[in-house]
Amino acid sequence: MKTPLPKIDEIERKWYVIDAKGLVLGRMATEIAVRLRGKHKPVFTPHLDTGDFIVVVNAEKIKLSGNKLNDKMYHRHTGYMGGLKSMNARTMLEKKPEEVIRLAVKRMLPKNKLGRKQLKKLKIYTGPEHPHQAQMPEALELRAA
């Protein structure tokens, strides 16, 4: 007996809204990564994008446990010699809070074309408003620590 594979046209994708206020970054990011990949669905197939769309609001109000606000470092390189730029989590949350969540989720997804496609279904906003009301997203409740 063959395992049934879902047709790309028949994959049902839902929209979810997560309010990040008071949520711990890592725990929220794992749940988002699972839903973007579609691992919570019975039709999950590793080589197909069966995941849902996720909208995160209030990105600036996430929490980091322990001393990560001061100790966690984000690095990027400009491409020039000596061009390594480093920033701690506190500074990153002040300047680009949506990028903190995006990087946490990105690093939990596959490092290939499929992972990049799945990451495009993540929409992150700093305030409580988002422009995706037409998709009628459902509220996804995650447990605050």
Percent of the chain as helix, strand, coil, to the nearest 5: 35, 20, 45
Domain assignment of residue 84, yes or no: no
| 3-state secondary structure at position 16 | strand
Q: Tell me, yes or no, whether 9 lies in a domain.
A: no
> CA-to-CA distance for 46 and 94, rounded, in angstroms?
36
Helices (H) and strands (E) in the chain, counts: 5, 6
Task: Flag whether 8 is in a domain.
Answer: no
Position 6 in a domain: no
Name every residue whose Cβ is closer than 8 Å to that of residue 3 and which is 6 or more positions away in sequence.
none
pLDDT at 145: 64
Q: 139 by DSSP, 3-state: which?
A: strand
Q: What is the pLDDT of residue 4?
A: 82
Q: What is the mean pLDDT of each run of 10 residues along the chain (145 residues)?
A: 86 96 96 97 93 97 95 97 97 96 98 97 97 96 80
The predicted structure's pLDDT at residue 143: 82
Domain that holds residue 116: 14-64+96-139
Per the domain annotation, does 46 fall within a domain? yes
37, with CB counted inside 10 A (0-12, 13-18, 19+), is buried
Instruction: Answer yes or no: is 32 within a domain.
Output: yes
Looking up tokens 């919570």 gives: 40
Q: Full-prediction pTM beyond 0.85? A: yes
Instruction: Please report whether residue 7 resides in a domain.
Output: no
Contact 103, 74 (CB under 8 A): yes
Q: CATH number, domain at 49?
A: 3.90.1180.10
Q: What is the pLDDT of residue 94?
A: 96
Assess contact for 44 and 112: CB atoms under 8 A: no
Domain count of the fold of the chain: 1
